[in-house]
Amino acid sequence: MAAKTSAGLLMYREQNGQIEVLLVHLGGPFWKNKDRGAWFVPKGEINPGEDLLDAAKREFQEETGLVPWGDFVSLGNVKHKSGKTVYAWAFAGDCDPSSLKSNTFEMGWPPKSGRMVTFPEIDRADFFTLEAAREKMHPAEFEFLSRLKNNASR
């Protein structure tokens, strides 16, 4: 089976002289009680033939309900231990994370119950300083924050 490829957008803002980034927490029963390592850059899989940046914009909108805008700066790609490659772009923006609305998915829950339950793909979002994000986000994706910081300091 081929490794998956995803694309996403990292919204950032400057608050009190510090860079803060918008991260999302995955919805569904497997992530419900997890916090450390359970926050990600909003992203998703690329459709066949789809441009990477277009996929990143589509996924950001699906997962947050916001239409991304502005200049997009490439942060390159990283690989998860699973072999999945994630491409990301950063853009300056701001929003009220509590007002974001994610798309949903259905799955059988509890397992083997025969019941289908609808869950939000993203159950919450928040802005984090780069230091706080290191504690919250998936380690493979933290590299994007280092690249963002390097771009901002130029």
- In angstroms, rounded to a whole number, what is the distance separating the alpha carbons of residues 145 and 148? 5
Residue 5 has pLDDT above 50, yes or no: yes
Model confidence pLDDT, tens digit, residues 13-64: 999 899 999 999 998 888 888 889 889 999 999 999 999 999 999 999 999 9
SS3 5: strand
Report all structural domains of the chain as residue ranges with CATH numbers, in order of start: 5-152 (3.90.79.10)
pTM: 0.91
SS3 87: strand
- In angstroms, rounded to a whole number, what is the distance separating the alpha carbons of residues 146 and 3? 25
Residue-level pLDDT at 154: 55
| Percent of the chain's residues with pLDDT above 70 | 96
- In angstroms, rounded to a whole number, what is the distance separating the alpha carbons of residues 102 and 99? 10
Give all strands (DSSP E) within the chain, no chain letters. Answer: 5-15, 18-26, 39-40, 43-45, 73-79, 85-92, 104-108, 116-120, 122-129
For the record, the structure tokens of 141 come out as 């994706």
Are 67 and 61 spatial neighbours (Cβ–Cβ below 8 Å)?
yes
- In angstroms, rounded to a whole number, what is the distance separating the alpha carbons of residues 121 and 94? 21
Residue 1 has pLDDT above 70, yes or no: no
3-state helix, strand, coil in the chain (%, to 5): 25, 40, 40
Q: What DSSP designation does 132 have?
A: H
Please, which residues have CB within 8 angstroms of residue 49's CB and are 6 or more apart in sequence?
Answer: none
